Amino acid sequence: MRIVLVGPPGAGKGTQAQFISSHLAIPRISTGDIFRFNVTSNTELGRMAKTFMERGDLVPDEVTVAMVRDRLSEEDAQEGFLLDGYPRNVPQAETLKKMLAEWDARLSVVLELVVDEDEVVRRLSGRRTCRRCERVWHVLYDPPTRDGTCDDCGGELFQRDDDTEETVRHRLEVYNEQTSPLIAFYADEGVLIGIDATGPVEEVTSRALAALRPFVR
């Protein structure tokens, strides 16, 4: 199964992607995580991406597309994948379509997580990520038992540099201008399904899995 998750920053893509990919036994490919890993490891790619990420802007398409092509060529992605954070604009979606066609493949479904903007700002400013296992928590909605520590692995939790209110607002503008046209693009392709992404995490996961069920082979 080849799935793309779309939705504004803070819609819960990362969290839902973890549950869905483990449930369907397909790799989760998050371009944001790959960029963050490269920033932390101080690679050439990371140094290049850092300035864009800190501003909440998109990393240039040439760089992102090459990185996604490499990742999708890996062995574990041949039978399916869940893309989280890619594509982020229509040109990236066009490139993905061509890339898959070269491999005689196509997307099975695009799942849109629908959530309104005020909720997004509330969610992002309370978001905390585990340094070790990348599990995402929320200080109000999904708090760990001990402040600042991941329940799953004991790792330290941190707030992403781009989760401050000012950057969050800018990322939403970028989403509205560049990413939201993907909704019409994939609706035209006949592969879009939307689900309500508000409410408890487990309920959203159940809705997501129910929506995806007809596409599971």
Q: Which residues are catalytic?
A: 13, 88, 127, 160, 171
If one asks whether residue 64 binds ligand AMP (CB under 6 A), the answer comes out as yes
If one asks whether residue 135 binds ligand AMP (CB under 6 A), the answer comes out as no
Residues numbered 69 to 98 that lie near ligand AMP (CB under 6 A) are 85-88, 92
Q: State the Cα–Cα distance between residues 74 and 107, nearest whole angstrom.
A: 17
Q: How far is the CB of 73 from ligand AMP (least distance, A)?
A: 17
Neighbours of 17 (CB within 10 A): 24
If one asks whether residue 128 binds ligand AMP (CB under 6 A), the answer comes out as no
Q: Which residue is nearest to ligand AMP (CB)?
A: 32
Measured from the CB atom, the residue of 109 and 174 that comes closer to ligand AMP is 174
Q: How many CA atoms lie within 13 A of 89 on its CB side?
A: 13
Q: State the Cα–Cα distance between residues 191 and 63, nearest whole angstrom.
A: 26
If one asks whether residue 175 binds ligand AMP (CB under 6 A), the answer comes out as no
Q: How far is the CB of 217 from ligand AMP (least distance, A)?
A: 26
Answer yes or no: are the C-beta atoms of 12 and 22 closer than 8 Å.
no
Q: State the Cα–Cα distance between residues 6 and 108, nearest whole angstrom.
A: 14
If one asks whether residue 53 binds ligand AMP (CB under 6 A), the answer comes out as yes
